[in-house]
Each structure stands twice: as structure tokens, then as C-alpha cells.
């Protein structure tokens, strides 16, 4: 039996829709695999009751099928589904890394990213790889058709998760079909600023680069209290705030680790004022999938 811990992730980071992603120090899914003649799946942990155990519908089961690696797969969810924290991607990433080793397939990390993205296609309708890439590789990742670039950034963050559900599939439906030239120029500028910030471990630049004039405003409507939470996080010192992935999680970048407590309390409080229960993860950019003993 093999066990892999695959971290939660925050995709998009505002200006990098379907391109940017970051691995979080916590939470994470733990995926255990054992050779079998047919794939079976069992799920425990956060939101387990909402995760399908039919291998054709579970992202980890799809990975096992694509890799022709049947297994008993046990998933302990640290990442609640429909969170905007790459819940479905963590299971896909963990399964891809674990099954590649279990069956000695010899795929590279980049090949595993494209394989795990096939699992994502069953839940969101698109094989977007911006969650599975950081969950496998760690750090901050840039995914394009041409390949994957990784930066090992050191960045304190808070991710606040309200007690509401936004499915990635629904949140993709509200993304505008086209952008205006001034929006394109602003997005390219912000995305470039963010990448420079990641390369320099500079939270001011990363925070500035989170701003996005197209996708985030459209999706903010799906997250009750989003504007107030954003303002509260900024007042508590965050350098920038955006929707994590497709939401409803909200990501805030902090100047230093000691600031995370105040930012987390401000965000949870603002959600509370909007009548929404929430919890906050005080974390940082972290490692990709790792084998456990
Ligand atoms: N292994 C899995 N873990 C979590 N969700 C899964 C898994 N396999 C399939 N799903 C389905 O994926 C959906 C959640 O994925 P998604 O909407 O992308 O949320 P998130 O933003 O947390 O990734 C749910 O409908 C869930 O049933
Ligand atoms: N680029 C995707 C990312 C979805 O992330 P998730 O954590 O909400 O699954 C999108 O924005 O649709």
C-alpha cells in the first residue's frame, strides 16, 4: 500500500484565470492506494458525503482508469468539495502520484499533471490543470499549452472558506465570453506584476497582481459578503484579496506570517456580519504531493 498527501490549492490568483495556481501548506487530502483487479473508492473526512464513490465520477477513479492502474483507493478528505481550494484536484493529484509509483509507470511530474487534469474534466467540464499542477509540483505554477513553469515562492496567505457551496461548473458558466482591450491590458499588467512578485517573494507585488477586471467581478455575485470580506482583509493589512479558484473560498496575501491572525479574524468576522459562517486557514505556499510512511 502507498500513501500520498496532496495539498489543497488556490487557482487563478485573480489575474491568471486557468493559468496560475499555488499549493497551500494545509489543508490536504491523503490518498491510499493498493493494487486490485478492479478500482474501488472509499471516502472519509471533510464533506465525504458529497464525494462520489463511483470510480467513473470520482477524479481519483478517472486517474486510475486513464493510467490503467486499478486499485482500492481510500481518500481522506482534508479539503471540502466545492470550496475553491481544489478539492477534486487534490484527490486527482494524490491518485496520480501514488498510482504512478504503485504500478511503476515512470511518468514525469509534468505528465502526471496532464493525467490528473483528465480527472478534473469529469467535475468541471474542462481539463483545467491550474489546481493539479501546484498540488503535484508545489509552490506557484504557471500552466500553458506550452508547458508548466514553477516558482518556489515564500508567501504567507489566509484562505477563508464560507459555509456556502459554489460548484466550479456553475462558476465557469458566469465567466464572460470576451474581454475588451483595456481589460486585456490591465490583466496582462497585473499577471506580470504577480509573477515578478512570486519570483522575488514580494507580497506587495503579488497582492497588487491579484486584481482582475473580468472573471472575479462576475463571480463575486456568487459569494455572499465578498465585497465586505475583501475590504475587511485589506483593512487588517492584506496586500491583496481575490476569490480562490472558482470560489467560494477567498484568498488574502499577507505581508508577514504574524499578520495572518488579524486578517483571518477580519475575514471570518465580515462573513459573519453578512450572515455566513466561515473558517479560515492561516497558511503559506507549500510543497506538492509527498509520500507518507
Ligand atoms: N475525489 C473528489 N474529491 C472532491 N470532490 C470530488 C471528487 N471526485 C468528484 N468530486 C466532485 O467534484 C465536485 C467538487 O469539485 P469542484 O466543484 O471543482 O470543487 P473544488 O473547488 O473544491 O475543487 C463535487 O461535485 C464532488 O462531488
Ligand atoms: N481555473 C478554474 C479553477 C477552479 O478551481 P476550484 O478550486 O474552484 O476547483 C476556474 O476558475 O474555474
> What are the residue ranges spanned by the domains of the chain?
2-150+287-292, 153-284
Q: What is the pLDDT of residue 279?
A: 97
Q: Which three cell numbers stand for residue 176?
A: 464572460
Which of 51, 54, 81, 118 has the most ligand 1 atoms within 8 A of CB, as the residue to mutate?
81
The whole-number pLDDT of residue 238 equals 98
What is the rounded distance in angstroms from the CA atom of residue 222 to the CA atom of residue 63? 30
Burial (0-12, 13-18, 19+ Cβ within 10 Å), 59 = buried
The tens-digit pLDDT sequence of the chain (293 residues) is: 999 999 999 999 999 999 999 999 999 999 999 999 999 999 999 999 999 999 999 999 999 999 999 999 999 999 899 999 999 999 999 999 999 999 999 999 999 999 999 998 888 777 789 999 999 999 999 999 999 999 999 999 999 999 999 888 889 999 999 999 999 999 999 999 999 999 999 999 999 999 999 999 999 999 999 999 999 999 999 999 999 999 999 999 999 999 999 999 999 999 999 999 999 999 999 999 999 98
Spacing, Cα 79 to ligand 2 middle (Å): 14
Q: Is 16 in the pocket of ligand 2 (CB under 6 A)?
A: no
Q: Check residue 207 and give its pLDDT.
A: 98
| ipTM for the predicted complex | 0.97
Residue 127: its pLDDT value, please? 78
Looking at residue 128, its pLDDT comes to 85
82 among annotated binding-site residues: yes
Tell me: is residue 80 an annotated ligand-binding position. Answer: yes
Prior bond of 63 cis (ω within 30°): no
Please tell me the distance from the alpha carbon of residue 120 to that of residue 142, in angstroms, as a whole number. 17
In this structure, whether the domain defined by 153-284 belongs to CATH 3.40.50.10420 is answered with no
95 C-beta closer than 6 A to ligand 1: no
Q: Which CATH architecture has domain 2-150+287-292?
A: 2-Layer Sandwich (3.30)
Torsion sign, CA atoms 249, 8, 204, 194: negative
**Residue whose C-alpha is closest to residue 16's, from 170, 160, 206, 203:** 206
Ligand 2 centroid – CA 154 distance (Å): 22
Asked if residue 124 has its Cβ within 6 Å of ligand 1, the reply is: yes
pLDDT at 124: 77
176 among annotated binding-site residues: no
- What residues act catalytically? 120, 168
Amino acid at each position: 500500500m502507498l500513501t500520498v498527501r496532496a495539498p489543497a490549492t488556490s487557482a487563478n490568483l485573480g489575474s491568471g484565470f486557468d493559468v496560475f495556481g499555488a499549493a497551500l501548506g494545509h489543508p490536504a487530502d491523503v490518498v491510499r492506494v493498493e493494487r486490485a483487479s478492479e478500482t474501488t473508492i472509499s471516502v472519509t473526512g471533510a464533506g465525504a458525503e458529497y464525494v462520489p464513490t463511483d470510480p467513473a465520477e470520482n477524479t481519483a477513479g478517472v486517474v486510475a482508469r486513464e493510467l490503467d492502474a486499478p486499485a482500492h483507493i481510500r481518500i481522506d478528505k482534508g479539503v471540502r468539495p466545492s470550496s475553491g481550494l481544489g478539492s477534486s484536484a487534490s484527490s486527482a493529484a494524490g491518485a496520480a502520484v501514488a498510482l504512478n509509483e504503485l504500478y511503476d509507470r515512470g511518468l514525469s511530474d509534468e505528465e502526471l499533471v496532464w493525467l490528473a487534469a483528465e480527472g478534473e474534466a469529469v467535475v468541471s467540464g474542462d481539463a483545467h490543470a491550474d489546481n493539479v499542477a501546484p498540488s503535484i509540483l508545489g509552490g506557484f505554477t504557471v500552466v500553458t499549452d506550452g508547458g508548466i513553469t514553477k516558482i518556489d515562492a515564500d508567501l504567507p496567505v489566509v484562505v477563508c472558506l464560507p459555509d456556502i457551496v459554489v460548484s466550479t461548473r456553475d462558476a465557469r458558466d458566469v465567466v464572460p465570453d470576451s474581454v475588451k482591450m483595456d481589460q486585456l491590458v490591465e490583466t496582462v499588467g497585473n499577471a506580470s506584476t504577480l509573477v515578478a512578485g512570486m519570483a522575488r517573494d514580494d507580497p506587495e507585488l503579488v497582492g497588487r497582481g491579484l486584481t482582475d477586471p473580468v472573471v472575479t467581478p462576475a463571480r463575486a455575485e456568487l459569494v455572499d459578503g465578498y465585497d465586505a470580506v475583501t475590504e475587511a482583509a485589506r483593512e487588517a493589512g492584506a496586500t491583496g484579496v481575490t476569490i480562490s479558484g472558482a470560489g467560494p473560498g477567498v484568498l488574502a496575501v499577507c505581508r508577514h506570517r504574524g499578520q495572518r491572525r488579524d486578517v483571518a479574524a477580519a475575514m471570518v468576522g465580515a462573513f459573519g456580519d453578512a450572515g455566513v459562517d466561515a473558517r479560515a486557514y492561516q497558511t503559506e505556499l507549500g510543497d506538492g504531493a509527498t509520500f507518507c510512511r
